[in-house]
């Protein structure tokens, strides 16, 4: 029997696993396709899974079910979400994967214990849109070189603007960690996606700070969602990047490199 995997959690958070070595149903929780969700014990870990036959398409509805199961587990414990569509073909492949990654899972759970993710979307005017310079069709000559200089100048202006906004928000919210991406939209605005890692006990304080920030930064359009499981920060950790997080300036510059 194949297993569809939702997340890794702490075994101690689920008392029903104390006396069992086999998968135990997680009461009142259904997964993709309406299937029963199970707690699969693995040493000190609990792997949240459901049986998977592989016949149903993993569509948008399945994605919503995937996120819902993780969210429900997050209310009870620290979780490390698996990517949507993670399937183990049998018990042996599941156990082998957990054994080979157990130390990393434990490290990640310890680091993210008591933490949650807040997500900010920040819309700002593109500081370059007023220039109104269309891309040059020339591929050689003076016009081509002029276009290259103009493109580079625009990118620097956008990076400077995005960096300033990200730095301002970093100072206001003072998160434990952050992940930032930035892109230019068709309507001539820049969109910053900012994930902040914070202590779960500080959610109300963060929400209050957001309300005051909206009033202060009237030149931007802000949208807040959360608290969420720490999706962005789990992906970073599972890549093995446990070093000190990059400052907002470097994160924005990296995100803007493809703009």
Tokens 């049986």, residue located: 51
Tokens standing for residue 34: 């309406």
| Predicted TM-score (pTM) above 0.75 | no
Instruction: From 82, 87, 54, 50, select the one nearest 67 (Cα to Cα).
Output: 82
One pLDDT digit (tens) per residue for the chain, 259 residues: 799 999 999 998 888 887 777 899 998 889 998 889 999 998 889 999 999 887 666 888 899 999 999 999 999 899 999 989 899 999 999 999 999 899 999 999 999 999 999 999 998 876 555 444 444 445 556 666 666 666 666 666 767 778 888 888 999 999 999 999 888 777 767 889 999 999 999 999 999 999 999 998 888 899 999 999 999 888 554 443 223 333 333 333 333 333 3
pLDDT at site 161: 79
Which residues are within 8 A (CB) of 129 and not within 5 positions of it... i.e. 6 or more apart?
188
Burial of residue 117 (CB within 10 Å: 0-12, 13-18, 19+) is buried
How does DSSP classify residue 136?
A: P
Tell me if the bond preceding 227 is cis, omega within 30° of 0: yes
Pairing of strands 177-184, 36-42: unpaired
pLDDT at site 40: 92
**Alpha helical stretches, state H, 175-228:** 203-216
Ordered by start, the domain boundaries in the chain are: 2-112, 115-258
Alpha-carbon span 65 to 51, nearest angstrom = 14
């Amino acid at each position: 029997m194949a297993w569809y995997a939702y997340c890794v959690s702490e075994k101690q958070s689920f008392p029903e696993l104390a006396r069992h070595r086999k998968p135990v149903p997680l009461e009142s929780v259904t997964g993709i396709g309406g299937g029963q969700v199970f707690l699969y014990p693995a040493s000190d870990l609990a792997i949240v899974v459901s049986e998977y036959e592989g016949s149903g398409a993993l569509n948008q509805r399945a994605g919503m079910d995937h996120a819902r199961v993780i969210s429900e587990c997050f209310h009870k414990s620290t979780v490390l979400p698996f990517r949507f569509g993670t399937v183990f073909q049998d018990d042996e492949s599941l156990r082998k994967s957990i054994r080979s990654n157990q130390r990393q899972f434990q490290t990640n759970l310890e680091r993210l214990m008591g933490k949650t993710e807040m997500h900010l979307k920040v819309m700002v005017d593109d500081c370059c849109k007023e220039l109104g310079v269309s891309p040059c069709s020339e591929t050689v000559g003076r016009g081509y070189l002029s276009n290259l200089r103009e493109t580079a100048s625009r990118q620097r202006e956008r990076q400077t603007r995005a960096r300033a906004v990200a730095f301002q928000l970093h100072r206001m919210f003072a998160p434990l960690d952050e992940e930032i991406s930035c892109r230019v939209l068709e309507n001539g605005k820049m969109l910053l996606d900012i994930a902040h890692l914070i202590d779960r006990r500080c959610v109300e304080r963060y929400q209050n700070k957001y309300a005051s920030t909206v009033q202060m930064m009237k030149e931007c359009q802000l949208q807040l969602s959360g608290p969420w499981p720490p999706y962005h920060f789990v992906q970073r950790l599972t890549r093995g990047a446990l070093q000190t997080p990059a400052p907002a300036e470097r994160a924005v510059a990296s995100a803007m490199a493809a703009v």
